[in-house]
Structure 1
Amino acid sequence: MSEFEAWPHLFEAGDGPVLLALHGTGGNERDILPLARAIDPMAAVLAPRGQVIEGGALRWFRRLSEGVFDVDDVVTRAGDLAEFIGWAVGHYGLEGRRIVAVGFSNGANVGLATAALHPQVLPEAIAFSGMYPFAGRPLTTSLEGSRMLLANGTADPMAPSASVARLAAELSAQGAEVTRHERAGGHGIDSGDVDAAREWLAVLPAR
């Protein structure tokens, strides 16, 4: 058994795009499935489990304190996730399929980090309540052809508006097509966010 086959995950087949479903802190690969299904019931869903444990809660990468990420670990874990995606493409016969990250909170952040650093593996991402995951480091990877949807509450203390604005600016500067969906309120996902994700996903990427 390979290290990636041993990585706890779920895969559900479907004829639509492949949604890489990434749970938030304290969640797991099962918790995120309803969100993926709400966005596209016809999608295939690949849902891995975060490999970091903090206070008994599953996460995707380490943090130094609330809102302060271990950026070196972010980069490492994003690379691990990119390798997992590559393994899953071959293992589940997904060659040539459209793969889109769908993440909430910590899952959104690792999805954004993976898409920003490994766009050849993950060129599209839907980030619910995500923020800029690289602290003071700028992006340098070309993201021409990448697409990102950022869905955030304007009063979210865990993903502050300034960090989201930095995220959008950095992604756009490297050539990504960035769509922002803002709503009143804080950390979470509402029906308007899901509707925005459905509409965004219905637009096929230019290739």
Structure 2
Amino acid sequence: MSADTYFYLEREGAEASSPVLFLFHGTGGDAHQFMDLGAELKPGARRVAPRGDVSEGGALRYFKRLAEGRYDMADLARATAKMAGFVRDQFGVEKPSEAIGFGYSNGANILASVLFETPDRFDTAVLLHPLIPFTPKPQPGLKRVKLLITAGKNDPICPAPATQRLADYFAAQGADVRLFWHKGGHEIRQEELLAIRDFLAGQ
């Protein structure tokens, strides 16, 4: 594996024109974390799951942080450019019928950062429990993106007001954004997964 790409897992779609679903794991996860779940959430899609290239005490992540909720912004910029390039390279000659991003926690954060910089990489994105502790710059390209943000109202890692600010930012850019809350914390709940499945099915 070279420094400009990622180790990743891939499962072919049902057809050559199938949507591609990129799966971004949370801190401490790996490329396997959501591979099976992806098949349930978007049946028939090609699935691509890159593994984070940063280790925090042995836990894999996509970019470095200085402390909980304090990001190494230089490394986030590095990781964002690298991931945007990885996603582009996965398209081949032409973009698939739909490019979908699915990310949880740290995976949601790198997905959001790619959207801030290169919104053309994804048509649809699902951000599970994201935390963006800074104000992104205006991005008119987000007008074409459909987003679902899911979160726990009592999440100690991703406070509810921060989640609402992120949703408001996307809405202000013209994105089609929806917000789903559950009553728990940072865990992924069944009702959350059902909402994601329905969203990806266009319901």
Q: Is the CA contact 1:82–1:122 (under 8 Å) kept in the aligned structure 2?
A: no
Q: Could you report, residue by residue, the CA deviation over 1:50-86 in whole angstroms, capped at 9, with x for unpaired residues?
A: 1111111110111110121123322321111010011
* 1:112-191 correspondence to structure 2 within 5 Å: 112-132=112-132, 135-142=133-140, 143-191=142-190
Cα distance in structure 2, aligned partners of 1:124 and 1:50: 21
Cα distance in structure 1, aligned partners of 2:25 and 2:115: 16
Candidates 41, 47, 50, aligned match of 1:48: 50
TM-score normalized by structure 1? Answer: 0.89
**Secondary structure, aligned partner of 2:109:** helix
Aligned to 1:84: 86
How far apart are residue 191 of structure 1 and its match? Answer: 1.2
How far apart are residue 173 of structure 1 and its match? Answer: 1.0
* Displacement over 4 Å in runs of 4+: 1-4
**Secondary structure, aligned partner of 2:60:** strand
Aligned residues: 199
Aligned to 1:68: 70
Q: Is the CA contact 1:24–1:104 (under 8 Å) kept in the aligned structure 2?
A: yes
How far apart are residue 95 of structure 1 and its match? Answer: 2.8
Q: Could you report, residue by residue, the CA deviation over 1:153-182 in whole angstroms, capped at 9, with x for unpaired residues?
A: 100011110110110111111111110010
TM-score normalized by structure 2? Answer: 0.91
Change (3 A) 1:130 1:43: same
Aligned to 2:194: 195
Q: Is the CA contact 1:22–1:48 (under 8 Å) kept in the aligned structure 2?
A: yes
Return the letter of the residue paired with 1:30: H
Cα distance in structure 2, aligned partners of 1:172 and 1:128: 17
Q: Is the CA contact 2:52–2:61 (under 8 Å) kept in the aligned structure 1?
A: yes
Q: Is the CA contact 1:128–1:188 (under 8 Å) kept in the aligned structure 2?
A: no
Return the letter of the residue paired with 1:200: F
Unaligned runs of 5+ in 1: none
Aligned to 2:97: 97
Return the letter of the residue paired with 1:198: R
Aligned to 1:109: 109
Return the letter of the residue paired with 2:162: S
How far apart are residue 131 of structure 1 and its match? Answer: 2.2
Cα distance in structure 2, aligned partners of 1:78 and 1:35: 24
Cα distance in structure 2, aligned partners of 1:183 and 1:111: 21
Q: Is the CA contact 2:116–2:136 (under 8 Å) kept in the aligned structure 1?
A: no
How far apart are residue 130 of structure 1 and its match? Answer: 1.3
